[in-house]
Amino acid sequence: MARLLLLSSIFLQPSALLPLAEQLTGREHQVEVQGTDPGEGAKEALEQYSAALDGLRGKVGADPVVVIAHSNAGAYLPSLLDRFPGTPAIFLDAILPPFDGRCLALVPASLGKPLRGRAEAGLLPRWSRWWPRESVRALVNSDADFAQLDERCPRVAASYVDERLPLPAGWSAQATAGYLLLSDGYLGDWERAVSAGWPAQRLQLGHLGFLRDPGQVALALDHLSERLTGRDDTAGGVQ
């Protein structure tokens, strides 16, 4: 059993992670979900994530704390691990920042430029509308699920695409981290984690696999958290 903090991307409301949280709770974990204000920037997002992690770590209990970041929230993990040394972390189909970089663009320029051109009233389109509908619809189980997903994607401030986040020097050398890949979009990040010797698993469920099959994703996260917290004798490696 562990205390798990699920961090949702700024582009997706934290309620989207509740089915996964319920499955993890059923596996006897204490689970909290944290999002960030879509109208704010990177500095404010980091403070919101940090406050949630600090609060969970401060609660009475002997169970270890593990922070799990999905998608864009992965960009914030180096800063969180720098603030809270020794905290195990799992990148869930997420940005894996450079191990030796000084800062990170939160949205790649190749994506940010066209998105900026589609902004209205200073707000980006919903994440679910960045690509053709059929491409995003394929990530969930039904049309009803897609409609709910669309509602759960907030309008983020257009200025976010220009934000850069400083990276703590040598952050990965001290990190206790793992990676769970859900889609080919983050294959390069997963391969870097594997090359670094981190515990890593791979599921073919798509970027929003926790909506398609939250039980399978919860099982994989359970195994990774056990390995990162020393509750499993299995050595690091790919599963």
CA proximity to 207, closest of 131, 156, 124? 131
Contacts of 42 (CB under 8 A, 6+ apart): 76, 106, 160, 163, 164, 165
pLDDT at 235: 47
**Strands ordered across the beta sheet of 3-7:** 30-34, 3-7, 65-71, 89-94, 177-181, 200-202
CA proximity to 3, closest of 27, 37, 19? 27
Chain centre to alpha carbon of residue 161: 17
CA–CA separation, 227 and 225 (whole Å): 5
R_g of the chain, CA atoms, integer Å:
17
What 3-state DSSP class applies to 93? strand
DSSP secondary structure string for all residues of 14-77: GGGGHHHHHHHHHTT-EEEEE---TTS-HHHHHHHHHHHHHHHHTSS-SSPEEEEEEEGGGGGH
* pTM of structure: 0.94
pLDDT at 232: 64
Question: Residues 227, 178: contact at Cβ < 8 Å?
Answer: yes
Long-range contacts of 15-18 (CB under 8 A, 24+ apart): 15/152, 16/149, 16/152, 16/208, 16/210, 16/211, 17/70, 17/210
pLDDT at 1: 85
Cα angle value 16/20/23 (rounded, 5°): 150
pLDDT at 101: 79
Q: DSSP class of residue 205?
A: S
Token representation of residue 232: 């499993």
pLDDT at 95: 97
**What number of other Cβ atoms are within 10 A of residue 150's Cβ?**
16
Strand partners, 202: 181
What 3-state DSSP class applies to 137? helix
Question: Residues 2, 64: contact at Cβ < 8 Å?
Answer: yes
Beta strand residue intervals within 143-211, DSSP E: 164-166, 177-181, 200-202
Q: Block means of pLDDT (10 residues each) for the chain, length 239 residues? A: 96 96 96 95 96 91 92 98 96 96 91 93 96 95 96 95 94 96 97 98 97 98 96 57
